[in-house]
Amino acid sequence: MGKDAKKKPLKAKQPAAKKVVKKVTKPKAPAAALPAPPDLPVAAKPRKRVLKAEARHLAPLDVPAPGDIEVLRRLWETVEARRLAGDAASSHSARLMARGTAKVAQKLGEEAVECVIEATLGNRQPTIMESADLLYHLIVVWVDAGIRPEEVWAELVRREGISGIAEKAARPKAILRAAETTKLP
C-alpha cells in the first residue's frame, strides 16, 4: 500500500505540470483591447459562411490594378468638389469639413495612430488599408486649409537631396519657440 500511495501522487503531479506547460506555450485567443460594459452584448465570432459571403461581396472591391500616384490628385479634386458643393447629407468629406478644422485634424490623427498600430504589429494588408485612410484624411486637411497638392509636391522637391538633419537644423527658430521646446521636431 505504501508503494501505491507514492505512485498515485507522482502520476497526479505529472499531468498537472504538463497542463501548466501547455497553458504557457499555447496562446489563447486575443482578449479585447478594452473591457466591454456588462450590459453590452458581446458579438460572437463570425461563422465561416458569413465570412465567405462577405468575401464574395467585397471581391469586386479587390481591384488588382497597379498603383498610380495620380490618384492623389484626383482624390484632392474630388474632396475639393465636395467642399464646394457642401452637401453634408451625401458626402463624408463635406460632412467632415462642416464639423470644423479641429474635427478634420482629429480624424487625421486617429487614422495616423491606426496606421502606426498596424505597422507596429506587422500587419501588411491592414497597414496598406490604414495608409489609404491616412492619405485620404490628409487630403481632407489640405482641402480644409486651402492647400493644393502642387504646394506639397514643391516642398518635397525643395527638400530632395537635402539631409533630413540639415533640413531640420535650418528651420526658423520661431517654429521651435512656438512649439515651446528646444528639441528639433
Task: Confirm if 141 and 108 have CB atoms less than 8 A apart.
Answer: yes
Given a cut of 60, whether residue 184 has pLDDT beyond it is: no
Q: Measured between alpha carbons, how far is 135 from 140 in angstroms, rounded to an integer?
A: 9
Per-residue pLDDT, 148: 95
Helices 149-159 and 70-85 pack at an angle, to 10 degrees, of 140
Q: Measured between alpha carbons, how far is 127 from 18 in angstroms, rounded to an integer?
A: 39
Average pLDDT over residues 23-31: 51
Place of cell 468575401: 55
Given a cut of 50, whether residue 48 has pLDDT beyond it is: yes
DSSP SS3 for 41: coil
DSSP SS3 for 72: helix
Q: What is the mean pLDDT of the chain?
A: 78
Per-residue pLDDT, 20: 44
